[in-house]
Amino acid sequence: MSSILQIAQALQGSSFGTAIAESTIVFPLIEGVHLLGLALSFGLLLIVDLRLLGLVLRQVPAAKVHDQLRSWIFAGFALTIVSGILLFLAEAADVVFNYAFIAHALFIVVGLANAAFFETRLAPRAAEWGESLKLPAAARLAGAVSLSSWIVVVISGRLVPYLA
């Protein structure tokens, strides 16, 4: 545990981490970009997940919904991940053992693993689903895991400063 804390302290104490943390402009700007990326990625992913669950856009093939939103979702994730890493650098030692941050990091891994599974195993076969209202169980499960994971990520991420 002490080696994890030492690494976190080194990151936070680095000139880059310190510059972000001490800036009255940069830290809030990065936080803003983080929230915008989150809104873009999670907002659009919410539509895809709800379509996979058969709760919205039932008249539109799931593959079409996914294909049209994929690049925007990835762009939102890129913004969120890069800005999240920068925010972490600024406060690594303060949050590394924070229970909300640990849940946040864990569910990011779960969400990304689920996304990788969906993109590599299910999405290539999405055209086979056609316009069916009820998608295969694996697609519905991927949608449910995605929705659940990212909700936990958002909630735990907002809890981090309150549990520090």
Asked if residue 54 lies in contact with residue 140, where contact means CB atoms within 8 angstroms, the answer is: yes
Count of structural domains within the chain: 1
Handedness of CA 114, 120, 125, 130 (dihedral sign): positive
Dist CA 111 CA 35 (whole Å) = 17
Q: Is 154 helix (H, G, I), strand (E, B) or coil?
A: helix
- Phi, psi (5° rounding) for residue 57? 50, 40
CB proximity list for 134: less than 8 A, separation 6 or greater: 54, 140
Q: Is the pLDDT of residue 127 over 90?
A: no
Task: Report the amino acid identity of residue 142.
Answer: A
Residue scoring higher pLDDT (91 or 128): 91
Q: Is the pLDDT of residue 14 over 90?
A: yes
Instruction: Tell me which residue range forms the domain holding 6.
Output: 2-163
Dist CA 61 CA 2 (whole Å) = 51
Q: What is the mean pLDDT of the chain?
A: 94
Q: How confident is the model at residue 156 (pLDDT cuts 50, 70, 90)?
A: very high
DSSP 8-state class, residue 23: -
Asked if residue 45 lies in contact with residue 153, where contact means CB atoms within 8 angstroms, the answer is: no
pLDDT, tens only, 101-113: 999 999 999 999 9
